[in-house]
Amino acid sequence: AQSVTQLGSHVSVSEGALVLLRCNYSSSVPPYLFWYVQYPNQGLQLLLKYTSAATLVKGINGFEAEFKKSETSFHLTKPSAHMSDAAEYFCAVTFGNEKLTFGTGTRLTIIP
């Protein structure tokens, strides 16, 4: 069965510092991978997705993620954190079927 693991349920970074949110997947076939963000009191929205084209994927708000097959990872990064990045981030995987399997989420806190 497909699954994703997000390491670290809470991550705190200083404003201006690098953001790194980790996601590892389990799969025996090539996956499609997603990052969603949930701002306080809002629904989830898509940040970016990997669909077997370029391994480095750029998303909204300066975020990007790199698919590394050898490491079964799809970590999310942003070079310089902004206060508005405070939110919960979810990694998700599918193998082309209808269901996304979500990780447990990482709550990102930005320290002024």
Partner 1 sequence: GAGVSQSPSNKVTEKGKDVELRCDPISGHTALYWYRQRLGQGLEFLIYFQGNSAPDKSGLPSDRFSAERTGESVSTLTIQRTQQEDSAVYLCASSRRGGGLSEQFFGPGTRLTVL
CB of 93 to partner 1, least distance (A): 9
Length of the chain measured in residues: 112
The alpha-helical segments, DSSP class H, found in the chain are: none
CA 54 to chain centre: 16
> What are the backbone angles phi and psi of residue 18, rounded to the nearest 5°?
-70, 140
Which residues lie near partner 1 (CB under 8 A)? 6, 9, 32, 36, 41-46, 49, 51, 90, 92, 94-105
Work out how close the CB of 35 gets to partner 1 at its nearest, in angstroms, rounded to a whole number.
Answer: 12
Least gap, CB of 79 to partner 1 (angstroms): 25
